[in-house]
Amino acid sequence: MADKKSSSDKPKAKAAAAKASSTASTAEKSEEPPPAITPPDDGSPGGQLPVTRGKVGVFGGPKDRGIKPDDKLALPTGPHSVFERVRSLNPNSFYCAMRFDYRIGHTSPEEGKRWWANRKLLVANPKNGKSAVLRAVDYGPHQNTGLDVSISPGAAAALEVEVGDEVEIAFADPRAPLGEVV
C-alpha cells in the first residue's frame, strides 16, 4: 500500500513543482503590481456581484443624517466579526455597500455575510476613467432609492461622481490597496 500511495503522490508533486517554477519565473519577469480587476479566487464558495453597472449613492460617516446614530453595518467588518456603526466610518476612507446575496453555495446567511465582509471591489467612473478599490461594509442602498451601490464620501470625491451617476463595478484583486487606482 505504501508503494501505491507514493507513486500517486509523484504526479502531484511534479505538478506543484512546475506550478511553483512558473509562478517564480513570472514574478521575476514582471515587477508590475497585480491587476486591480480579478475574480475572487480564494477557495471560498464565491458570490456574484448583484450588478456590474448602476447608479451610485453616498453614505456613512459622522455627518450622515439618513441613519440613526447607533445603526450598525450589515457586514462584520471589525476585528472578531464586530459590526461597526455606520457613523463611525471615516468618510475619507474607501468603502461601499451593495445588495449582496448572502446565500452563497451551501453556506448559511451568516457565513455569506462573513464572505462578503471587507471583500474588495473596483468601482469606476466611465465618464472620466477614474477608478478606486473599495471594501464592502454594508448591505444597501434600499431598492426604492433606484441606486445600485453606495460609496463613501471620500470615494465619491476621488471618482468625481455625484448621487445618481452611473458607475461600473467589478471584483478587485484581494491584494490591491484601498484607494484610488493610479
Q: What is the pTM of this model?
A: 0.72
- Report the relative pairing of strands 120-124 and 53-58 from DSSP bridges: unpaired
The one-letter amino acid code at 141 reads P
> Is the separation of the CB atoms in 130 and 159 below 8 Å?
yes
- Report whether pLDDT(5) > 50: no
Q: Which three cell numbers stand for residue 138?
A: 454594508
Residues 47-88: tens digit of each pLDDT: 788 899 999 999 988 778 777 778 888 888 766 677 878 877
50 CA to centre of own chain = 12
CA distances from 114 to 32, 35, 51, 76, 83 (A): 31, 24, 20, 6, 11
How many other CB atoms sit within 10 Å of the CB of residue 58? 21
* Alpha-carbon span 60 to 106, nearest angstrom: 32
pLDDT band at 102 (very low <50, low <70, confident <90, very high): confident
* Alpha-carbon span 103 to 156, nearest angstrom: 29
Please give the pLDDT value at position 80.
Answer: 66
Hey, which of 7-11, 71-75, 113-117, 156-160 has the most confident mean pLDDT? 156-160
Does the CA dihedral 161-165-166-171 come out positive or negative? positive
How many other CB atoms sit within 10 Å of the CB of residue 172? 26
110 CA to centre of own chain = 17
pLDDT band at 46 (very low <50, low <70, confident <90, very high): low
In degrees, to the nearest 5, what angle opens at C-alpha 71 toward C-alphas 68 and 74? 145
> Is the separation of the CB atoms in 37 and 173 below 8 Å?
yes
